Amino acid sequence: MRGSGGSPPCAWILADTGAAWQVPAGGGHNRAMTQPSFSTYGAVDLAALTQRGAQPPSRGASRGATGGLVVDVTEATFQAEVLERSSTVPVVVDFWAEWCAPCKQLSPALERLAEEYAGRFVLAKVDVDASQQLAAAAQIQSIPTVLGVIKGQAVPLFQGALPEAQVRQYVDQLLQVAAANGVTGVAEPADGAGSAGRPAATEPPHDPRYDAAYDAIERGDLDAAAAAYQALLTEAPADEEARLGLAQVDLMRRTEGLDERAARAHAESAPDDVDAALLVADLDVLAGRAEDAFRRLVDVVRRTSGDDRDRARSRLLELFGVVGQDDPRVARARVALASALF
């Protein structure tokens, strides 16, 4: 796992969209890298990591009993601490090692946020030297890398030792995706109270308004999910959760069943096909390449006029909402869009 000369570079998290996250028999990691993504559509299925007959966790393998806000995870504890817990509360997985200097910058920030968010997510720490099978299954090339897990599905987040403010943005967006998928539980510290002796946070009251949309997503009926979110927005136009949910569902509907390779090849061969550019921009956001999507659409806006320009601009604004209005990539793209328009 060490980089050349023992100096670990910044990491990318590797994910095969729509494929089981298998523990490899050995050998290289030749798959393409993806950047952070905040949609569970096409997320990696982690169920294959569960090892039948795994031994119980050894003493000291966790920072407390199951239920703590920060836990050290091994192959033996992965199912309980990550897969099972992620069905009720989002889990953030930090791949690190003792020799990794950037990890020592990032890990304290993640731990502070875990305490600050008071159980809205669980931080699971994986030592890649001690848990090499987990690192191999995640196709880790270098560290630190961080991913989220919701209902057993991996959501790639980011790589490298980012500033705490930027890490907070990624966590906030993960929580939005979790809420859109009905994962709104709150974990408790291992001792049942916060570090300052505060009572543990309790799960917020269930809001039945979103049940129809959540249930439709669960059964794969994206049209029904969109209709449910639209009905909520008709009643309450300022409902941010419904707006975000509708934007994500619309993105999933536009790309459902697509042959990504063919779509990208067509866009490459027909650079003036605006519909092809819009579709590939959607695919880029799903793959976590938001900056690529934004650059593509800004270029379309710059090169076109009339209805084509309006459609590209509208799609770009919609994708801003999917990625998150506070995301620094959105801020940069807004400046580029203004330049293209004026």
Residue numbers annotated as active site: 100, 103
If one counts every other C-beta atom within 10 angstroms of the C-beta of residue 8, the result is 21
Q: Which two tokens stand for residue 92?
A: 């953030």
Convert the chain into a string of H (helix), E (strand) and C (coil).
CCCHHHCCCCCCCCCCCCCECCCCCCCCCCCCCCCCCCCCCCCEECHHHCCCCCCCCCCCCCCCCCCCCEEECCCCCHHHHHHHHHHCCCEEEEEECCCCHHHHHHHHHHHHHHHHCCCCCEEEEEECCCCHHHHHHCCCCCCCEEEEEECCEEEEEEECCCCHHHHHHHHHHHHHHHHHCCCCCCCCCCCCECCCCCECCCCCCCCHHHHHHHHHHHCCCHHHHHHHHHHHHHHCCCCHHHHHHHHHHHHHHHHCCCCHHHHHHHHHHCCCCHHHHHHHHHHHHHCCCHHHHHHHHHHHHHHCCHHHHHHHHHHHHHHHHHHCCCCHHHHHHHHHHHHHHC
Tell me the HSE value of 116 on the side-chain side, using a 13 A CA sphere. Answer: 12
Angle (nearest 5°) at CA 240 between 337 and 298: 10
